[in-house]
Structure 1
Amino acid sequence: MISIICSSGSVFAATPSPSEADLFTKRLELYQNMETVLQVPWYYLAAADQYEHNLRLTRKDREKAKGVIGIYIEPSKWVGALNPNPADVKPLSISLFGGIGLDGDGDGRADINSDVDRLYTFANYLLNYGTDEENIRIGLWNYYKRDKAVGIIIGNARIYKTFGTLDLQEKAFPLPIGSHYTYRSTWGSARGWGGRRIHEGTDVFASYGVPVRSTCYGIIEMKGWNKYGGWRIGIRDLNNNYHYFAHLNGFANDLKVGQVVKPAQIIGSVGSTGYGPPGTSGKFPPHLHFGLYKDNGITEWSFDPYPYLRIWERNDKLERKN
Structure 2
Amino acid sequence: MTNRIIFSIVIAAFLLLHASSVYAEDEDSIYDERMALFKKTEALTQIPWYYFAAIDNYERNIKNSDEPEQVISIGFPTELWFGPGNSSQIIEEAIIDTFDGKGKDGNGDGKADPTNEEDVLYTMAMLILEYGPTKDDIKIALWNHYQRDLTVQTIMNTAKVFETFQDINLTDRDFPVSINHNYSYRNTWGDRRGFGGLRIHEGTDIFANYGVPVQSTTYGVIEMMGWNLYGGWRIGIRDIFNIYHYYAHMSGYDDNIKLGQVVKPGDVLGSVGSTGYGPPGTSGKFPPHLHYGMYKDNGYSEWSFDPYPYLRKWERMARDKR
Query: So what's the TM-score if we normalise by structure 2?
Result: 0.91
**Cα displacement string for residues 278-319 of structure 1 (whole angstroms, at most 9, x for unaligned residues):** 110000000000000000110000000000000000111112
Alpha-carbon distance change, 155 to 41 in structure 1, aligned in 2, over 3 angstroms: same
CA distance in 2, matches of 1:72, 1:24: 19
Question: 5 Å matches for 1:280-299?
Answer: 280-299=282-301
The aligned residue for residue 157 of structure 1 is 159
Cα contact 1:67–1:115 (8 A) shared by 2 = no
User: Who is 1:82 aligned against?
Assistant: 85
Identify the match of residue 224 of structure 1 among 220, 223, 226.
226
| 1:47 aligned partner | 54
State the superposition RMSD in angstroms.
1.3
- Of 137-146 and 66-75, the range deviating more from structure 2: 66-75
Letter in 2 for 1:84: S
Task: For 1:180 and 1:67, locate their aligned partners in 2 and report how far apart those are by CA, in whole Å.
Answer: 42
In structure 2, how many angstroms separate the alpha carbons of the residues matched to 1:305 and 1:296?
Answer: 17
Q: How does 1:111-260 map to 2 (within 5 A)?
A: 111-260=113-262
Q: 1:71 to 1:88 in 2, by over 3 A?
A: same
- Offset at residue 82 of structure 1 (A): 2.0
Q: Which residue of 2 aligns with 1:31?
A: 38
| Structure 2: runs of 5+ lacking an equivalent | 1-22
| Gap runs ≥5 in structure 1 | 1-15
Residue in structure 1 matched with residue 95 of structure 2 by the alignment: 93
SS in 2 for 1:302: strand
Is 1:204–1:289's contact at 8 Å kept on the other side of the alignment? yes
Tell me the equivalent position of 2:16: none
Bigger Rg, structure 1 or 2:
2
Taking a change above 3 Å as real, the CA distance of residues 241 and 175 of structure 1, as seen in their structure-2 partners, is same
Q: Percent identity?
A: 53
Normalising by structure 1, we get a TM-score of 0.91
d(CA) in 2 for partners of 1:246, 1:190: 17
Query: In 1, Cα distance between the equivalents of 2:149 and 2:317?
Result: 35
- Paired residues, number: 300
Which letter maps to 2:71? V
- What per-residue deviation string (whole Å, max 9, x for no partner) do you get for residues 221-267 of structure 1? 10011000000000011100011000000001131111100000000
Post-superposition CA distance 1:86-110 (Å, at most 9, x none): x321111111111101111111211
Q: Secondary structure at 1:51's aligned position in 2?
A: helix
Task: Using the TM superposition, give the Cα deviation of residue 66 of structure 1 relative to its aligned residue in structure 2, in angstroms.
Answer: 6.7
In 1: Cα distance, 2:85 partner to 2:250 partner: 56
In 2, the alpha carbon distance for the partners of 1:302 and 1:319 equals 29
Higher helix share: 2
